[in-house]
Amino acid sequence: MKTSKEIVLKVARLARLDMDEADVDLFSSQLGTILDYVDTLNQVDTTGLVATSHATTTTNAFREDEEIPSLNLDIALANAPEKDDGAFLVPKVI
């Protein structure tokens, strides 16, 4: 499919791109190649296929939750520079 220079110039104007004649020729050729490929893809029979968001199947790698004992509060606060009523004391941040 040959893309006309007028289409390339229109898209360039909409995108506010300044293109010289060499750029217009190059982009016209490249855009034509891309549209030819898209046309080839449109010819593939996709009847009965489910639309997907990924090319491959995805699975989550979740693990089972397991209960483990938590750290003792006295041990957790043992090296705290300042503590009060079972909590770390830190400078106020505003």
Structural domain contains residue 22: yes
Structural domain contains residue 37: yes
| Total of domains in the chain | 1
Q: What is the pLDDT of residue 14?
A: 96
pLDDT, tens digit, 9 for 90 and up, residues 65-79: 899 999 999 999 999
Structural domain contains residue 10: yes
CATH assignment of the domain containing 36: 1.10.20
CA distance 34 to 22: 18
CA distance 48 to 68: 48
Top-confidence residue, 67 or 60: 67
Judge whether residue 2 has pLDDT over 70.
no
Structural domain harbouring 13: 5-43
Structural domain contains residue 87: no
pLDDT, tens digit, 9 for 90 and up, residues 26-51: 999 898 899 899 999 889 998 888 88
Q: What is the pLDDT of residue 20?
A: 92
CA distance 77 to 72: 9
Top-confidence residue, 53 or 26: 26
